[in-house]
A and B are shown apart, each in its own frame.
Chain A
Amino acid sequence: MKVHCDAEAATPVWLKAAREARTFTEDIHPEGCLHAAFVRSPHAHAEIVSIDCSTRNLPGVVTVWSAADLPTHRPIPCIVPLRNGDGSDRADPPRTLLAINRVRHQGEAVAMVVARTAALARLAAREVVVAYRALPAVSDAGQAVMAQAPAVWDGIAGNLCFDWETGDEAEVEAALAAAATVVDIRLVNNRVVVAPLETRSAIGWVHPSNGRRVLVTATQGVHWTRDVIAGDVLGWDPATLEVVTPRVGGSFGSKIFVYPEQVLVLLAAERFSTAVRWVGSRKEAFLSDTQGRDQRTRVRLALDADGHFLALRADTDANLGAFLSNYAPFNPTTCGVPVLAGAYRIGCLYARVRGVFTHTPPVDSYRGAGRPEANYVLERVIDAAALKLCIDKAELRRRNLVRAQDLPYTTATGVHLGTGLFSDNLERALHAIDYTGFTERRRLSEARHRLRGIGLANFLEANGGMALARIMEPGGLPLESARIEFGRGGRLRVDIGTQSSGQGHRASYAQVLAAHLSWDAHAISVHQGRTDRLAHGTGTGGSKSLLSGSTALLEAADAVVAKARAWVARAWGVPLDGVVWQGGELSAGPRRASLQSLSDQAAESVTGDVPHPFSVEICTPVRAGTYGNGCHACEVEVDPRTGVTSVIRYVCVNDFGEMISQHNVEAQVRGGVAQGIGQALFEDCRFEPGSGLLQTADFGSYHLPQATQLPPMEVLFNRGSRGSNRLGIKGCGESGASAAPPAVINALQDALVGVIGERAIGIQMPATPPTVWSLLQSQSAPS
């Protein structure tokens, strides 16, 4: 696919600013642009009786569109195929741009208003009269599968999107039946509102002279967004659509996905031959962004008399929301289940996942994308087993973790572990938190009328994009692209296909390239978010950006060196295999020159628009993933009178192999842990039973953790194990969200055990004070 630069056509100032990625989308104001606002359903489930678009006649309002007004298009696709246990394919209901006949979650867009100012658009949207016939709604997955539940989609019985399984059920059932002990518990992984601080926005525009379409919007990878919107939805040649992602204010998965608003502003821009701009409000974010988690699992763990893990069975209902977002079936199945065995030796494993539709906003990848959900199940059932068997929870883990002598080891889910410091992580974490000193600390807390508990959770990450690539195409590998362009005065420009939303990729990439080419890192600028600068890109997600980005970047650097060698051979008139690259220099016999000085000479040897002889652009597969791993330990204190739970100590030991920027890695760990603690203790996303309305639709009622609620965290690294890639790195960004919820809840369970015994296993997330308090009251209630 050809990428061309519009050297001839003038680029407006605002588009240049967007491309430079120094500001957020909402800071970009195309001159004379129109503004879009959306009419959204106040009902979770209703028939649309009529839409009165006469508001379009108000002065300053350009149009009001409902679904009937849209040009032919296809629905936003769910790109993940999935086979049910019986061999049939999953359901595939259409994800429309604007609601057709029926609304299926509160906040679903019903109409779009385009007006001369944003305020007018908002006001006019309020004036659009939509007549609804409200219908019963269901928001809980467990209820949605029952016979009498209202159907989200006609023709999809039991609201079941899929019923998937993996593993040998008979083998696992036999193991459960024969085992000395079976621990059988039910767990809730509560729905999370992702809530990056920057809301979603989009600007659509069509170049007046060449018809080139432009979409400026936050993404986690511009190329995929372009291909889905142009190729899948609108039937446009993707080469005619430029997607630009400027600075992004957090995403955590939610901005990966293609949303109706992005497509609609493009259609409006085409129709009205002017830029159309939409900035989402926080309320819209609560009601229409993809949300995270929301799984209910029954897990059974079989153990022998010595506490060895013989078998694990997990049956999960995954709430998908009303619509299938792009990746939705992937998270609870082939993304998450591989880490359901963690780095433990488990004899066999069977998992069954039902994907369930409900009248709620769509659920899709949120920091960890199914792996935190799996890890929560695993680490909680282990602590339940420790309690029931009266085996210390560290010892139970020690007994079952993959040890050095077991490597290489293939887990019960088929994960091939070649390296990993699992047991060592555990010992270091126990030491860091002073596990043996806990009893005394507990006694001191008791003297202050506080319940104190200590909890552990290991994590195993599986990063690289391998699982997603394989599910899209058997034997498929993830790709990534990088382009290195040589400029004047020793400046290098890198364009790369990943997309940062705060991770600090660019500094790391500059560092990697600088080291490889012996170049000054400050003379390297790194750019993302440009389909006009890079033909292909795979984007960010699944903690793989440094892996895939560095793979592409290093191959590009190798290609630079190859080009430089060829250029030198010609320029110096020497045979190619006599040209040596070392330490930033090229030499042939006694003659040598730095790559930098050679690049200056090479620049002079070409004129006009001819690219620099050393510039390259490559697209390369990533052949191996990484398995970051570690152990988190946490202490909590509970005030039994109020149920308030405070995390008072938090340590983690992490094996991320080599690290390009320890600063950036630590930042990711802390951020992930913060989100994990938020989910475990504070973030309570509630839908009203019956109506399906979101009862926690603003930051006053949905509580992101604040500074006084999060502990200082000690982040330690266990080095000595390398990832299997050139840099030896391992993905890390999502790990905190995997490990923190079970670490915190295990600690809480430990704190409550002294008062309510095994009933403490029943503690569920979010463990808000009233929830903890209620559980403590059950001590005096008959069981």
Chain B
Amino acid sequence: MKATALSSCHAISSGAPCRVNAVVHPPSSGAETLLEWLRGSAGCTDVRQACDTGHCGACAVLVDGRAVKSCSVLAGEVEGREVLTLAGLESASRPAARAVLDAVATMRPFQCGYCQPAFVIAAIDLLGSEAAPSECAVREAFTGLLCRCTGYQSIVGAVLLATRTLQASTPGGIE
């Protein structure tokens, strides 16, 4: 059963656009993963692919505020949703994102930088649900995310700095 890609999309789904980093994109017209679509049609080279089995976390993005592995989500599943990659967070004003990005700029915890988007996304996801995570909780939150360069301590340190900044600046809590 074949139809042209675009018409089959309209027939099946809501056709609702997807916003990537606040920019509206027409939905994916093929069967690709969110990762492939983001790196391809949406031009987001800050979403990375470091494996092909869903084990490294390098492809992490935020979908409606929740961190997911874009390699394990179909592109068509984010119709009508908001996708944020690292680039989108850099221009966002959310306090948790700001705090993490500032801490990263200050402490320069990354080396080759390949895993940087993933860890930043995961950190923001963590701070979205936990206001003052312990070091242990931060390391736990990085389960499933691989870094080969740093040994993680510097990245954990930057997240803890972000946490302290947030605590200091928002008396009522974060986000």
A: residues with CB less than 8 A from B are: 23-24, 26-27, 195-199, 247-250, 252, 281-283, 501-504, 663, 667, 670-671, 673-675, 698-700, 704-708, 710, 712-713
Contact = CB atoms under 8 A, between A and B. Distances in A.
A197 B58 contact: yes
Given A667-B150, A699-B146, A706-B146, A197 B55 contact: no
A17 to B, nearest CB: 10
A503 B49 CA distance: 21
A501 B112 contact: yes
Contacts of B110: 502
Interface of chain A, helix or strand or loop or mixed?
A: loop
B156 A198 contact: no
A246 to B, nearest CB: 12
B42 to A, nearest CB: 13
Most B CB within 10 A of own CB, among A197, A282, A501: A197
A24 B153 contact: no
A710 B153 contact: yes
B140 interface: yes
23 contacts: A197-B48, A197-B147, A197-B148, A198-B50, A198-B114, A250-B114, A282-B51, A282-B56, A670-B153, A671-B111, A671-B151, A673-B151, A699-B56, A704-B146, A706-B144, A706-B145, A707-B142, A707-B143, A707-B147, A707-B152, A707-B156, A708-B143, A710-B152
A247 B113 contact: yes
Given A282-B50, A698-B53, A706 B150 contact: no
Given A282-B50, A670-B151, A698-B51, A249 B112 contact: yes
Contact of A707 (B45, B58, B108, B139): B139
B115 to A, nearest CB: 6
Nearest to B135: A712
Given A667-B154, A706-B142, A700 B112 contact: no
Contacts of A708: 136, 139-140, 142-143
A501 B155 CA distance: 18
Q: Is the interface of B mostly helix, strand, loop or mixed?
A: loop
A254 B164 CA distance: 39
Q: Size class of B's contact patch?
A: 35 or more
Nearest to A663: B108
A707 B145 contact: yes
A198 B49 CA distance: 8
Given A710-B153, A713-B153, A197 B140 contact: no
Contacts of B5: none
A282 B114 CA distance: 14
Given A197-B58, A249-B113, A699-B55, A23 B151 contact: no
A522 to B, nearest CB: 15
Given A282-B52, A667-B111, A502 B139 contact: no
Nearest to B153: A712
Contacts of A503: 111
B173 to A, nearest CB: 25
A281 B140 CA distance: 28
A533 B120 CA distance: 35
Contacts of A250: 111-112, 114, 148-149
A76 B140 CA distance: 45
B146 A197 contact: yes
A709 B78 CA distance: 34
Nearest to B118: A197
B114 A249 contact: yes
B150 A27 contact: no
Contacts of B150: 667, 670-671, 674
Nearest to B155: A707
A675 B111 CA distance: 14
B10 to A, nearest CB: 24
Interface string B118-145: 0000000000000000011011101111
A674 B147 CA distance: 10
B114 A24 contact: yes
Nearest to B36: A119
Interface centre among B138, B145, B152, B156 (most CB of A within 10 A): B152
Contacts of B58: 197
Contacts of B147: 197, 707
A282 B148 contact: no
A699 B154 contact: no
B148 A195 contact: yes
B112 A502 contact: yes
Given A504-B111, A671-B150, A699-B146, 15 more contacts: A197-B58, A197-B114, A197-B149, A247-B113, A249-B113, A249-B114, A282-B51, A501-B112, A667-B111, A674-B151, A698-B52, A700-B55, A706-B143, A708-B136, A712-B135
B156 A502 contact: no
A87 to B, nearest CB: 42
Contacts of A675: 148
Contacts of A504: 111
A671 B148 CA distance: 7
Interface in B59-85: none
